[in-house]
Amino acid sequence: MKQIKKLKIIVVLAASLLLLLALFAVVNAQGHTADQLENAGWACINAGPHNWVHCFPPAARGNPATIQVKVFDDEGNNDYLGAEILIHQDVYHGQPCMTDGGGPYEPVPETPYLACHHFATD
């Protein structure tokens, strides 16, 4: 009898956890904004020829080998454009940027990084 009670409790807890995860996924699917990321400790700056807002995660401090940057359009309603992958020049070996026309990664001025945009940049 005690084992059945324990099993019921485990099933209820597991179902509750799944429900919470599903709810979180639905809320998270709505996306985030640059302001929300900045409030969560990300560093967001306007950069580039298009005046896009680039948000860098806290882990980007200290020159890591790669950085995934989230990019937002700073004109209009601050739409999320997509991710930009930065790779440190020391670990870049000419691999193509398959999502930005298939060419090489582009140098990021005044940094030791090269960039590949995972969204349309034209």
The per-residue DSSP string of 52-112 comes to EEEEE-GGGTT--SEEEEEEE--SSS--EEEEEEEEETTT--S-B-TTTTTSBPEE-TTSS
pTM: 0.69
Express each pLDDT in 55-80 by its tens digit.
999 999 888 999 999 999 887 678 89
What pLDDT score was predicted for residue 119? 86
Q: Which residues of the chain carry a pLDDT beneath 50?
A: 7-29
